[in-house]
Chain A
């Protein structure tokens, strides 16, 4: 580097760090502003009747059907994407030949990049119309599962890969079969990481709207265990649709739904992070 006068060098450096500080502020401030802004909008309209009434109620509409629907989707994706994702992660971490595993990992990551509205459209064409499932819980759950599967696969694989080598060596020295090694040796220390992956995947699916618009559609009534031809309501739809309605009552409902959605998601994300942090400590202790 050519010699420059010291003062100029420090001036440049100072300017650079001021700009970097500004950039960091532009990241931190909006993150706070979104959460706080939405909670401030939601706070005045939160009331207990939101939990006891459905959107069907004309006098005093609530969000019971939407909240229950969102929970139904959370359970649904855990049931469908959970086992597939965990098994897929186990395969990639423990069995996959290098090149094949690399290819599957690659496609999984690419799937996560498919726009969610495209997944929604395909689910509409293939499931709602093609297989004649109708607007239903199951169509929505399958669309959401496809979206969060890559996250679960990745976190499972990473959690298994973090288990110290010494444990594998001990298991193999004992002559344990692979399945026993995975069940008794590798899964216990990896479990918190896998669980936190599931939790964050549920957080992501809870916040999705686009893939549900044309698969679950919308219902003013509480979800029922009927899986086909039975539209389901969910929280994000309330925010999306009611905010565009002229009446103040509807807009209040949209604000409340946005507030509840973001509270649920913050809870899930930070719960997941807490589990991961504990796992790191545990794994560090295991390593000999």
Chain B
């Protein structure tokens, strides 16, 4: 039988890879199951295709109408719905005075996600190294449940917490201290909202949301560091820190880059938590604490109003925002998965690192 022959041929171990019989070996029931399950396995691909195609088709009129204004204007205004005349641009008409500039959202998205990324990478890697190299084995399991906890907390609960607990706390006790650095870094000078709503609070909450993605990948890869390499390093008289630097870090470096890209993708697309915390303002942040909007929060916030546009252009403009968000988050995802796929792609989590 094929099955046995293949095994004898010395295929790598691993149960899932063993048996892959030719069609001739399959009974009729087998072939039906293969067909039906094969169809099910293509659903994600089909879904992804439908999402991309619909976003592109819906965005096209807005892309034509806005041209480069999309990237250069900070003003997103669906127009005067009661004006007697329409604005026409490149042959496409929209309500009077409509401008669909995405620059505010792009600045908000990039700044919040990059701050989150810069904070989350060292915290995740440091925490995981502590967990797997220093903490006694017995405590490792219980402590790692906190990572799962962080991954499981829903976006809206993070938003609720950021709005009612973290924001006020930061505004009263942390921001005043930070603002003293304003002498050196003008961006950190105040003012801030009394309840802490704004860019920095949103970025900190985003940090918490992407830690599980980076941490779970790092943890998985640290586990796979060959024991002989560790022991060899220690036998050479290295301290534990030197062993980490010389053996472990080089081994997990690619994985950290890949998972950081995935985490970045998640931070880009996070909606409800950011919407509640960042302050829903339609302007770029005035300073590090300023209120603004991201692409994702802007879409959620604007769609209701956009639906009232009788020309339908506002909904198209939101499709353009969504398309841009989709493209950058797909790019970070693809990049992250390609970086690591040859080495150990299965270490990367699906989705939010749960």
Q: Is the CB of A104 within 8 A of B153?
A: no
Would you call A46 an interface residue if the criterion is a C-beta within 8 Å of the partner chain's C-beta atoms?
A: no
Would you call A200 an interface residue if the criterion is a C-beta within 8 Å of the partner chain's C-beta atoms?
A: yes
Q: Is the CB of A87 within 8 A of B143?
A: no
Would you call A51 an interface residue if the criterion is a C-beta within 8 Å of the partner chain's C-beta atoms?
A: no
Q: Is the CB of A23 within 8 A of B123?
A: yes
Q: Is the CB of A269 within 8 A of B239?
A: no
Would you call A178 an interface residue if the criterion is a C-beta within 8 Å of the partner chain's C-beta atoms?
A: yes
Query: Secondary structure of the B side of the interface?
Result: helix
Q: Is the CB of A31 within 8 A of B149?
A: yes
Q: Is the CB of B300 within 8 A of A210?
A: yes
- In the bound complex, what is the Cα–Cα distance between A33 and B39 (angstroms)? 44
- In the bound complex, what is the Cα–Cα distance between A165 and B64 (angstroms)? 57
Chain B residues 291-309 with CB under 8 Å of chain A are 296, 299-300, 303
Partner among B15, B153, B330 whose Cβ is within 8 Å of the Cβ of A114: B330
Q: B330: which A residues are within 8 A, CB to CB?
A: 110, 113-114
Chain B residues 1-33 with CB under 8 Å of chain A are 1, 3-4, 7, 13-21, 26-27, 29-30, 33
Given contacts A95-B38, A115-B269, A119-B51, whether A38 and B157 have CB atoms under 8 Å apart is yes
Given contacts A10-B239, A24-B143, whether A150 and B351 have CB atoms under 8 Å apart is yes
Partner among A27, A41, A106 whose Cβ is within 8 Å of the Cβ of B146: A27
Q: B229: which A residues are within 8 A, CB to CB?
A: none
- In the bound complex, what is the Cα–Cα distance between A10 and B239 (angstroms)? 7
Most B-side CB within 10 Å, residue of A10, A118, A179: A118
For residue A82, give the distance in angstroms from its CB to the closest CB of chain B: 11
For residue A33, give the distance in angstroms from its CB to the closest CB of chain B: 7
Number of A-B residue pairs, CB cutoff 8 Å, is 326
Chain A residues 92-120 with CB under 8 Å of chain B are 92-98, 101, 103-104, 106-120
Q: Is the CB of B318 within 8 A of A113?
A: no
Would you call B226 an interface residue if the criterion is a C-beta within 8 Å of the partner chain's C-beta atoms?
A: no
Would you call B129 an interface residue if the criterion is a C-beta within 8 Å of the partner chain's C-beta atoms?
A: yes
Would you call B41 an interface residue if the criterion is a C-beta within 8 Å of the partner chain's C-beta atoms?
A: yes
- In the bound complex, what is the Cα–Cα distance between A204 and B300 (angstroms)? 19
Given contacts A26-B127, A110-B337, A210-B271, whether A151 and B350 have CB atoms under 8 Å apart is yes
Q: A120: which B residues are within 8 A, CB to CB?
A: 300
Q: Is the CB of A104 within 8 A of B45?
A: yes
- In the bound complex, what is the Cα–Cα distance between A172 and B135 (angstroms)? 45
Q: Is the CB of A37 within 8 A of B161?
A: yes
Query: Secondary structure of the A side of the interface?
Result: helix
Q: Is the CB of A27 within 8 A of B150?
A: yes
For residue A219, give the distance in angstroms from its CB to the closest CB of chain B: 16
Would you call A275 an interface residue if the criterion is a C-beta within 8 Å of the partner chain's C-beta atoms?
A: no
Q: B21: which A residues are within 8 A, CB to CB?
A: 178
Q: Is the CB of A113 within 8 A of B27?
A: no
Partner among B43, B148, B325, B332 whose Cβ is within 8 Å of the Cβ of A118: B325
Partner among A41, A150, A178 whose Cβ is within 8 Å of the Cβ of B44: A150
Q: Is the CB of B19 within 8 A of A172?
A: yes
Would you call A168 an interface residue if the criterion is a C-beta within 8 Å of the partner chain's C-beta atoms?
A: yes
Q: Is the CB of B130 within 8 A of A104?
A: no
Q: Is the CB of A243 within 8 A of B164?
A: yes
Q: Which segment of A11-19, A56-64, A71-79, A222-230 sits at the interface? A: A11-19
Would you call A182 an interface residue if the criterion is a C-beta within 8 Å of the partner chain's C-beta atoms?
A: yes
Q: A108: which B residues are within 8 A, CB to CB?
A: 41, 44-45, 350
- In the bound complex, what is the Cα–Cα distance between A20 and B126 (angstroms)? 4
Q: A204: which B residues are within 8 A, CB to CB?
A: 152, 351-352, 354
Would you call B175 an interface residue if the criterion is a C-beta within 8 Å of the partner chain's C-beta atoms?
A: no
Chain B residues 110-148 with CB under 8 Å of chain A are 122-127, 129-131, 134-135, 143, 145-148
Q: B125: which A residues are within 8 A, CB to CB?
A: 23
Q: A33: which B residues are within 8 A, CB to CB?
A: 161, 165
- In the bound complex, what is the Cα–Cα distance between A153 and B38 (angstroms)? 12
For residue B233, give the distance in angstroms from its CB to the closest CB of chain A: 10
Q: A240: which B residues are within 8 A, CB to CB?
A: 156, 159, 272, 275-276
For residue B324, give the distance in angstroms from its CB to the closest CB of chain A: 10
Chain B residues 41-83 with CB under 8 Å of chain A are 41-45, 47-48, 50-51, 54-55, 58
Q: B303: which A residues are within 8 A, CB to CB?
A: 121, 124, 213-214
- In the bound complex, what is the Cα–Cα distance between A156 and B271 (angstroms)? 28
Q: Is the CB of A239 within 8 A of B127?
A: no
**What 9 A-B pairs are tightest by C-beta distance, nearest first?**
A207-B154, A115-B269, A23-B126, A13-B241, A91-B37, A87-B40, A161-B16, A113-B333, A112-B351
Additional 19 contacts, C-beta under 8 A, given A9-B239, A9-B241: A20-B130, A27-B211, A30-B208, A91-B41, A94-B16, A95-B34, A104-B44, A111-B45, A115-B326, A118-B269, A120-B300, A153-B44, A161-B16, A165-B18, A207-B152, A213-B303, A236-B156, A240-B275, A243-B160
12 A-B residue pairings within 8 Å (CB atoms): A9-B242, A13-B239, A31-B153, A33-B161, A35-B149, A95-B37, A108-B350, A112-B351, A115-B268, A124-B303, A204-B354, A208-B155
